[in-house]
Amino acid sequence: MFKILRIVVLLFVLASVWGTYSMQQSIAEDWSGVVTIKIIPVIADQQLNTAKFVRSLRPKDFDEVSRYLTQSAKGYGLELSNVIQVDLEAPISSAPPSIPQAGSGRIDHIIWALRLRWWAWNNQLNDHQDYHIRLFMLYQSPASGATLSHSTGLRNGLIGLINARALRPNKRFHNVVLVHELLHIFGATDKYDIATGRPIYPQGYVSPNAKPRWPQPYAEIMGRARQISADRFEVAERLSQTRLSELTAGEIGWLK
Ligand SMILES: [Zn+2]
């Protein structure tokens, strides 16, 4: 009896978590109301150096995120300066469930996605404010030597997990990854070859019709890198080296 009751309670909680997220998702998609993006730093490896780095983060470190989105939207005739709000929250030290290994089955991914939502729900902020999107920045010390797993933006759940080295010079690059994952949450697709990292022609190019085709002046934000010759490409290290293409703008609902 107790076991059944526990399952019923768990299902009820999952359904309410799911319901909240579906509601938030529709709010985030039409770009008419304020879209709040909460950045939550996570001390993912419990290291002192990481904690020190995380405590040194300031809201201005993420200012360029809203600036980039606002400026990009302006290019498509959309005024977002009062729409996008980026807030830096207090750090937490609870790490999320690990992303299933490559080649894991569909069931593993479903269980992971549910566990992730449960974890995020447990780590939400108790300030009773409305929020739409939560981006967890998972910082790890470079000294730990661990390889970073890939970052993820879950559209159905409005959650992003961004893996980052706790290194001051990497801050600008972190914002590139952050915006990339954020755009996944809004519905943008990857425009690079996952196996090689190479931007896919033509969708991963900012200027696919340029003659000569190389070097491309910018990296498309979902293509991650700019092709500089037939066999060389350069991964963008800062947002100013990227542009948000018309294709991506269409995917995230900026083109009416
Ligand atoms: Zn991606």
Using the mean position of ligand 1's atoms as its centre, give its distance from the Cα of residue 95 in Å: 21
Using the mean position of ligand 1's atoms as its centre, give its distance from the Cα of residue 251 in Å: 13
- What is the overall mean pLDDT for the chain? 86
Range in 31-35, 148-152, 165-169, 216-220 the model is least confident about: 148-152
Using the mean position of ligand 1's atoms as its centre, give its distance from the Cα of residue 153 in Å: 8
Using the mean position of ligand 1's atoms as its centre, give its distance from the Cα of residue 243 in Å: 15
pLDDT of residue 59: 97
Q: Who wins on pLDDT, 148 or 53? A: 53
Domains of the chain, first to last = 20-187 (3.40.390), 189-256 (no CATH)
Tens of pLDDT along 30-45? Answer: 788 888 899 999 999 9
Tell me which amino acid residue 108 is: D
Using the mean position of ligand 1's atoms as its centre, give its distance from the Cα of residue 238 in Å: 16
Q: Is 100 left (phi over 0), alpha (psi -120 to 50) or beta?
A: beta
The answer to whether residue 239 scores a pLDDT higher than 90 is: yes
Using the mean position of ligand 1's atoms as its centre, give its distance from the Cα of residue 80 in Å: 23
> pLDDT-based confidence at 195, cuts 50/70/90?
very high
User: Residue 246's closest CA among 187, 186, 202, 206?
Assistant: 206
The mean pLDDT of 94-120, rounded to a whole number, is 83
User: Residue 254's closest CA among 76, 65, 25?
Assistant: 76
> pLDDT-based confidence at 27, cuts 50/70/90?
very low
Using the mean position of ligand 1's atoms as its centre, give its distance from the Cα of residue 40 in Å: 20
Using the mean position of ligand 1's atoms as its centre, give its distance from the Cα of residue 232 in Å: 20
Instruction: Provide the residue count of the chain.
Output: 256
Using the mean position of ligand 1's atoms as its centre, give its distance from the Cα of residue 163 in Å: 13
> pLDDT-based confidence at 52, cuts 50/70/90?
very high
Q: Who wins on pLDDT, 25 or 138? A: 138
- Alpha-carbon distance of 214 to 226, in angstroms, equals 9
Using the mean position of ligand 1's atoms as its centre, give its distance from the Cα of residue 222 in Å: 6
Backbone φ and ψ of 70, nearest 5°: -65, -45
Using the mean position of ligand 1's atoms as its centre, give its distance from the Cα of residue 10 in Å: 31
The answer to whether residue 26 scores a pLDDT higher than 60 is: no
Using the mean position of ligand 1's atoms as its centre, give its distance from the Cα of residue 224 in Å: 8
Using the mean position of ligand 1's atoms as its centre, give its distance from the Cα of residue 41 in Å: 20
